Amino acid sequence: QKEVEQDPGPLSVPEGAIVSLNCTYSNSAFQYFMWYRQYSRKGPELLMYTYSSGNKEDGRFTAQVDKSSKYISLFIRDSQPSDSATYLCAARDSSASKIIFGSGTRLSIRP
Amino acid sequence: DSGVTQTPKHLITATGQRVTLRCSPRSGDLSVYWYQQSLDQGLQFLIQYYNGEERAKGNILERFSAQQFPDLHSELNLSSLELGDSALYFCASSYSLTGEIDEQYFGPGTRLTVT
């Protein structure tokens, strides 16, 4: 079993829709949770991070972590074609710099 | 542009060969991380160096090795290459060792094709 599981998609939604991306994890020691966005032929870039449980909002993006169910979510409001990319969830514990990535969900926003 | 540079962008080589991938971290960053991204395995952490010293190891094969030089650039050496080593290899850098979220900035990657 992978430590961070993510549905690879692809996921295709119309412009303006609310997108929900989800991951589950198995390691209870994970305390930092991240979402990376990766455009085609580019390296991943950090989109959002949260520490422990709770929500974090940044513009159209909201990251949510539920440690009781080991569930990580990213919501994108008013989705734009420029949001089309692969989204990777990731996690690590507080003592290590090693990040465990999910396999990524390919998202396509249709104009 | 993340400020992390990687060379070469593409590399095509034959099985059994050895290659070296190079990474220059962002100015001021002391940590360098290497990742392998393949279609079936996703993005996998290989190894981390901090200020010239190895700090963490992930799923790095014995045929692979890395080092970080005094000027902080890093090289990843892949030897006895197999078809399954074909992948994107990313380097990332960050300022500190661990602690609170320490954003890792990823380079554009080196695409390795083993034929």
Residue of A nearest to B4 (CA): A43
Greater confidence (B12 vs B96) lies with: B12
A91–chain B nearest CA distance, Å: 11
**What is the pLDDT confidence band of residue B2, given thresholds at 50, 70 and 90?**
confident
From A42, A51, A97, residue closest to B56, measured CB to CB: A97
The predicted-structure confidence for B56-105, as pLDDT tens digits, reads as follows: 898 899 999 999 999 999 999 999 999 999 999 999 998 865 545 567 88
Mean local confidence (pLDDT), B4-19: 97
Task: List all residues of chain B from 55 to 114 with a beta carbon under 8 Å from chain A.
Answer: 55-56, 58, 90, 92, 94, 97-98, 100-109
User: What pLDDT is stored for residue B97 in this prediction?
Assistant: 59
Handedness of CA B69, B43, A93, B46 (dihedral sign): negative
Q: Write out the E strands in chain B.
A: 5-7, 10-13, 19-24, 31-38, 42-50, 53-57, 64-68, 74-78, 87-94, 105-106, 110-114
pLDDT score, position A2: 83
Question: Which pLDDT score, from 0 to 100, does residue A1 have?
Answer: 74
Q: Say whether the peptide bond before residue A111 is cis (omega within 30 degrees of 0).
A: no
Tell me the C-alpha distance between A56 and A74, whole Å: 10
Number of Cβ pairs < 8 A linking chain A and chain B: 55
- Tens-digit pLDDT profile for residues A82-101: 999 999 999 988 776 678 99
Residues of chain A predicted below pLDDT 70: 96-97
Residues 6+ apart with CB under 8 A from A73: A20, A21, A22, A23, A63, A64, A65, A66
